Structure 1
Amino acid sequence: MIVEVKLNVVITGVGGQGLITLANVIANAALREGVNSIVAETHGLSQRGGTVIVHVRLGDVEAPLIPKGEGDLMLSMELLEAARYLDFLSKDAEIVVNDYLLPPPLPGIEVPSRNFILNVLNRWKVFTVPATSKALQLGDPRSANMVLLGKALKHTKLGEFISLNSVLETVRELWPKAYEINKRAIEVGMA
């Protein structure tokens, strides 16, 4: 029997950018909406700033990992990491990417320019958002992931599966002390 997956979300970035938090908010908000969700992360040296990819599958699914070429939506906290995992996306996928370039801390590595990366990403429907700078303006750089989420909720298929209310209820339940800053960050992303 073929299982129809409603939404495959690929979340990318580097360790410390709140990717697993972002995945948990999406998955828990989906559960509040009555939509099944599975989260799987592969993060290697994430605690040392290494690459992280998190798979979030919404709907009736049997496996946690998104097959290559079947991602419907990518949320990326960093431009290079968005480009690194494009093979997970379907041809009709949407991308919401933080307009932030974090070169690897390795000597002699040539990093493509921001414009080059954006040209590669433009094969898909792309939404760029200055999530890091918006979070800094809000006074908490840790909220950049919620700025990105706000953009995705308003402008992509994700908003068809989870509502702002479900997201805010999830954030309030999981991180009550950080609720207000995260709420503002989501609102900034939606604006």
Structure 2
Amino acid sequence: MKQQILVSGIGGQGVLFLTKVIAQMAVNHGLPVLTSEDHGMAQRGGTVLSTLKVGDFAAPLIRTGQADVALILWDDNLAAHCSLLKEGGALFVNSDKAGEGDRIDGSKIAREMGNSVLSNLILLGRAVRKKALFCSEEECVVAIRQLAPAKFLEQNIQAFTTGLNL
């Protein structure tokens, strides 16, 4: 099993937490995983790009046209990072605008849940529902339980479950 995944957003959207959850699922599966993060100005709302390679890979960076799955948490990042997605790859976009890919307004749903950062797990739930990732629903919940702070645990699981039901 090999899968290349990119996660793109801006600082404060939970890109790095989402990356950790996906990586933890790979570890729980007994699969090798490589990650790379680019978040230089993220604390100021700048772009955050994270890549994951699950399976037997030599390096963590994803080349142009090689990503199997893209999770775009900030619609404006799509133009900058869509070239990494391979033809026929699975594209999930957090957006209230029409356009390419599987789009859901995760930010609106997350705000209604009381925490705008939850859009990351809502989008993850959608991707898992569509069977775009290597993992099952149950494996995601296990990884979230392993990584989420206790005070946010139930809210994180609720966000993921919400994405599953969209």
TM over 0.5: yes
Partner of 1:147: 122
- For 1:113-124, list aligned pairs within 5 A: 114-115=97-98, 118=99, 122=100
Match of 1:182 among 137, 156, 163: 156
Match of 2:8 among 8, 12, 23: 12
- Measure, in 1, the Cα distance between the counterparts of 2:113 and 2:136: 23
Please say if residues 39 and 54 of structure 1, whose CA atoms lie closer than 8 Å, have aligned partners that are also in contact: yes
Q: Deviations over 1:106-133 (max 9, x none)?
A: xxxxxxxx45xx2xxx3xxx21011111
C-alpha displacement of 1:25: 0.2
SS in 1 for 2:9: strand
TM-score (norm 1): 0.81
- Measure, in 2, the Cα distance between the counterparts of 1:143 and 1:157: 20
What is the RMSD computed on CA atoms of the aligned residues?
1.4
Match of 1:171 among 144, 154, 162: 144
- Measure, in 1, the Cα distance between the counterparts of 2:38 and 2:125: 24
- Measure, in 2, the Cα distance between the counterparts of 1:128 and 1:14: 17
C-alpha displacement of 1:82: 1.6
C-alpha displacement of 1:156: 3.8
C-alpha displacement of 1:71: 0.7
Equivalent residue letter for 2:163:
G
Partner of 2:53: 57
The percent of aligned pairs where both chains have the same amino acid is 31
Equivalent residue letter for 2:120:
N
What are the ranges of 5 or more consecutive residues in structure 2 without an aligned counterpart? none
- Measure, in 2, the Cα distance between the counterparts of 1:67 and 1:167: 26
* Rg larger for: 1
Equivalent residue letter for 1:147:
I
- Measure, in 2, the Cα distance between the counterparts of 1:77 and 1:16: 11
Equivalent residue letter for 1:28:
Q
Q: Deviations over 1:138-191 (max 9, x none)?
A: 122121111011001111420xx1122222112112223211001110111011
What are the ranges of 5 or more consecutive residues in structure 1 without an aligned counterpart? 101-113
Q: Deviations over 1:69-93 (max 9, x none)?
A: 1011100111110221111111111
Partner of 2:41: 45
Do residues 72 (structure 1) and 45 (structure 2) align? no
SS in 1 for 2:4: strand
TM-score (norm 2): 0.93
- Measure, in 2, the Cα distance between the counterparts of 1:164 and 1:190: 8
